[in-house]
Structure 1
Amino acid sequence: MNYSYPLNMDWTKEEIVTVIRYFESIEKAYESGIDVQELKKRYREYKQVVPSIGEEKQLGKEFEAASGYSPYQVMKLVKNTTTSTIKMRP
């Protein structure tokens, strides 16, 4: 990883950790695969920190621009999957 996560400096340390864990889960979905329930849990926690859809989209775009990994595409797959794990195709 040679990029930084999009973070808001107004967040608490715990909130920053929650957001980082979510983005790490997105990375894991691309790199090795991830359990769908684990990813859904991380997303629910993330939405407690970032409840605004507009802010979620902005952070997702920033993360994708930096990493090449799309949170939107991962969550779209999770929403429509019938399997217990997912792995994104590059």
Structure 2
Amino acid sequence: MNNYSYPIFPDWSKDELITMMDLYNSVEKAYEDHNGVSAQKILTLYNEFRKINPAKMEQKQIDRDFQKISNYSIYRTWVAAKNTKTKNVRMN
């Protein structure tokens, strides 16, 4: 796992920040770990992400910022998790 400066918003609560960090780390794992990450975990965290950041524009901005830093897409990982037939999702 690499050390990035993750996109964070000052108005997130401590719990929201922890959830967002878990999402970022899980998306990284989907790309970097040979076994991928639990598809259900991605789906659950993405739903939380949408609750924390209900505005579509904000969601897209966070994904863009994260992608600039890491080259990984939160949205594409969620789509893959939603459509996978396996327990884990692995991104290429």
Would you say same fold, with TM above 0.5?
yes
CA distance in 2, matches of 1:53, 1:43: 13
Moved over 2 A (4+): none
Gap runs ≥5 in structure 2 = none
1:18-64 alpha-carbon deviations (Å, 9 max, x no partner): 11111111111111101111111111222221111111110000000
Matches within 5 A, 1:8-23: 8-23=9-24
CA distance in 2, matches of 1:46, 1:73: 14
Over aligned residues, Cα RMSD in angstroms? 1.1
| AA partner of residue 60 (structure 1) | D
8 Å contact from structure 2 (residues 39, 82) kept in 1:
no
CA distance in 1, matches of 2:3, 2:43: 26
Query: How many pairs are equivalent?
Result: 89
Structure 1 residue 2: deviation in Å?
Answer: 3.1
Q: Does 1:86 align with 2:89?
A: yes
TM-score by structure 1 length? Answer: 0.90
TM-score by structure 2 length? Answer: 0.88
Which residue of the other structure, out of 54, 73, 79, is the alignment partner of 2:76?
Answer: 73
